[in-house]
Each structure stands twice: as C-alpha cells, then as structure tokens.
Structure 1
Amino acid sequence: MSNPTEETRKVAQQWFDALTGGDFETALNTLDENVEWINYTPIPGYNDDMKWIGTVQGREAVLGTLQIFTGAVDVKFEKLVNLVVDGTQAAGVIQEVSVVKETGVEFQIEFIQWLTVRNGRIVRWKSYTDPSSIIRALRGDHTGEVAA
C-alpha cells in the first residue's frame, strides 16, 4: 500500500480484531520481530503487583509478558470502542472487564494502545490507563468491584 494511513489502519484493525477475539497468534503476527513494547513503567510499591508491565523488545519478549498476564488474569470482555489513525500512528481505545485469578476480584478498565506501524508491522506499542482498579483487584480488595 502506498498510503501510510490505509496501511496503518489495516494493521491496527487486524491487531485489535485478533486481540479482542482472543486470537493471540494472529495478533503476535502483526508485531515486528523487534517491536518495542511499552506497558507502563513499574513503580515499586504502587503498580509492581502487575508482573507483566514494563518495557520489552521483540516479539518473543512480548509473548512472555502476555503469558504472565493471561496466567494472572482472565479476560471476560474486551472491545475496541474507538480507533484513530493518522499516517504511521494509530490509537485504539479498549474497554476491558477481567478477573484476577488468584483473588477472584473483577476489574474494569478503559485503556489506550498507541501503535506505530511500518512496513506492515507494529514496530512500537505503548499502553495508557489508570491501573488503580487492576491493582485493587490484584490485592484482593473488593471495593469498586464491577457488579455482575
């Protein structure tokens, strides 16, 4: 494709469709082999309960962080609610409802995934959200739990 926005939209849509559909193999195949994956900055005593966060380089390292996440959290619902694309950049807004396996506490978040796409692959991925409800659920605090 000669239009960067069209190429970015295609790759981003494929990523989000695969991610929200639970098709991790297809999702991983949209990532560049050397993708820069930035999933928050761990802050000791605050968000380091989230063992899957931090910055990693490469598809295999991303797979490792996703395995840590899915080992700790059961995603019940995940939906792309908005996608904005401009050139090589895409921002997707995701709504997610999940349960921490160890505590049984449910949490709900809305987060943004900021993607950079080059040559048909995601070369940079960065996530933005308020992790408070995730941390509360990881610590077993039922305050603010999503009603069933």
Structure 2
Amino acid sequence: MDGTREVASGWFEALTGGDIERALGFLDPEVEWINYSPVAGYNDDMEWIGTCRGPQEVLASFQTFVGAVDVGAESLVRLVVDGDEAMGVIHETGTVKATGRQFEIEFIQWLTVRNGRITRWKSYTDPSQIIRAIRAQ
C-alpha cells in the first residue's frame, strides 16, 4: 500500500506528463472528483467542470477539457502532504481551440488518499483567464 506522498507524487507526475491512463490508475473506483462548481453565467462555459464519481466520469471530463483546450504545459510548483491529505499547486498554460486565445493559470488540487488511492479530488483556482480565452471574440 502506497503512502500519501507516493500516491500524490505519482499522480502529479502522470498528470503533468500527459499520461492520463496512468493518472487514472491512482484514483479509487468511487473517487469523488470536484472540479469547481458551475455557476450559471459565470463559469458554466467551461464544459468540463462539475462533480464526477469514478474514473470513467473523470476520464470523460478530461476528454471534454482536451477537446476544448490544447494544453501547452503543466508543471507541479509545490507539493504539501499532511497525513492522508495532499495539496499540489499546478502551473498550466494552454490555448482554447475555438478562439485561439492563450491562458495561464495556477490552481490547487486537494487530494485525499486512503488505501493507496485518491478517494477525493477537489480543484481551486481563479478561472478568469480561461473564461476570458473562451469568450474572446
């Protein structure tokens, strides 16, 4: 059974390396995945956000995201681990395919790890850079 640091490090390495299949292997079959909360008229044009349950729904969310965005780069800026909780700060650049507009954000992924798997994942950020790129005319 892997510890929190090992699971979180593996997750972030796979994610920032673009290996979604490997990343999904770190998720518990019943993972609760909270990728922001949609707010009508504010961030709901980010079609990949919301709450998912299980790796298949998470994969569908990833597929929606990469259908809309070309990710330029993702890197882990910082990792903090405390017991069964881990927090990773991610720096991401990308381009919204429909508008050709680029964005740059930093966001936090908060993980709960139990029995060697991520059982809860929640994302925190200011999404205004992505929203501006989506809505560009």
TM-score in terms of structure 1 length: 0.91
- What does residue 105 of structure 1 align with? 101
Which residue of structure 1 lines up, in the alignment, with residue 77 of structure 2? 81
Q: For residue 31 of structure 1, what is the amino acid of its counterpart?
A: L
Counterpart residue number, 2:57: 61
Structure 1: runs of 5+ lacking an equivalent: 142-148
Q: Could you say which residue in structure 2 is the equivalent of 1:31?
A: 27
Structure 2 unaligned runs (5+)?
Answer: none
Match of 2:8 among 12, 16, 25: 12
How far did 1:56 drift?
Answer: 1.1
Residue range with higher mean Cα deviation, 75-84 or 6-15? 6-15
- Structure 1 distance, partners of 2:91, 2:57, is 24
Distance in 2 (CA, whole Å) between partners of 1:94 and 1:73 is: 16
Please tell me whether residue 95 in structure 1 is matched to residue 85 in structure 2. no
- Using the alignment, how far apart are the partners of 1:74 and 1:19 within structure 2? 14
2:106 maps to amino acid: E
Cα distance in 2 for residues equivalent to 1:66 and 1:77: 15
Moved over 4 A (4+): none
Q: 2:115 aligns with which of 119, 122, 125?
A: 119
Q: Distance in 2 between matches of 1:13 and 1:127?
A: 17
Which is higher, the Rg of structure 1 or of structure 2?
A: 1
Distance 1:21 1:65 in 2: 18
How big is each residue's C-alpha offset from its partner over 1:28-85, in whole Å with a ceiling of 9 and x where there is no partner? 0000011000000000000001000001111111011010001000110110010000
Between Structure 1 and Structure 2, how many residues are aligned? 137
TM-score calculated relative to the size of structure 2: 0.98
